[in-house]
Amino acid sequence: MKKILMLNGPNLNRLGKREPGIYGVSSLEDLEKRMVHLGMESQIEVTCFQSNHEGDLIDKLHDAEDTGMDGIIFNPGAFTHYSYAIRDAIAGINCPVIEVHISNVYQREEFRHNSVIAPVSKGQIAGLGFLGYELALEAFKREAKGEE
Ligand code: DQA
């Protein structure tokens, strides 16, 4: 059975309450339930984790490799734009990461246009809302089937 980690960074625990015009009205719990369900339909075990703390996210990235995860779907929140520590953690593991953003960061403030995560990620999806996470899962699914 394939194992995928869905990792969400700072402030994403506030989904549904936080700037709903940008991030929508559904909660992180809604998202996590959906992803676990979608995984189960394809014999993929989806594990979910959210933290507002950089070090906790880094620990999870290391654990993902050590526990043999097949891929990581990661929305690093604002850390995307400046966390070299998270960037280095991703660069230091063999587990592929797909970076996801709910909003279209390129239509927003200038500081959101740069991702220090993108160069060490397999791919990036931005601006498609929660669908972005599902598409990342689909990408891992196809990879597992050799359809990439
Ligand atoms: C975000 C975009 C980031 O710029 C922001 O800091 C977030 C959420 C997104 O999902 O659109 O917290 O990653």
Q: What is the CATH number of the domain that holds 55?
A: 3.40.50.9100
Residues annotated as catalytic (active site), given as ranges: 23, 101
Print the domain residue range for 65: 2-144
Angle at 85 between CA 79 and CA 86, to 5 degrees: 55
Render pLDDT for 42-78 as a digit per residue (tens, 0 to 9): 999 999 999 999 999 999 999 999 999 999 999 999 9
- Identify which of 73, 34, 79 has the alpha carbon closest to the alpha carbon of residue 56: 79
How much is the mean pLDDT over the chain?
Answer: 96
The pLDDT-based confidence of 104 (bands split at 50, 70, 90) is very high
- For residue 49, CA distances in Å to 14, 18, 65, 110 come to 14, 18, 15, 28
The number of the ligand 1 atom at minimal distance from the alpha carbon of 127 is 11
With a Cβ cut-off of 6 Å, ligand 1 is lined by: 11, 75, 77-78, 80, 101-103, 105, 112
At 60, list the tokens: 């999870």
Total domains, the chain: 1
User: Tokens 């899962």 belong to which residue?
Assistant: 137
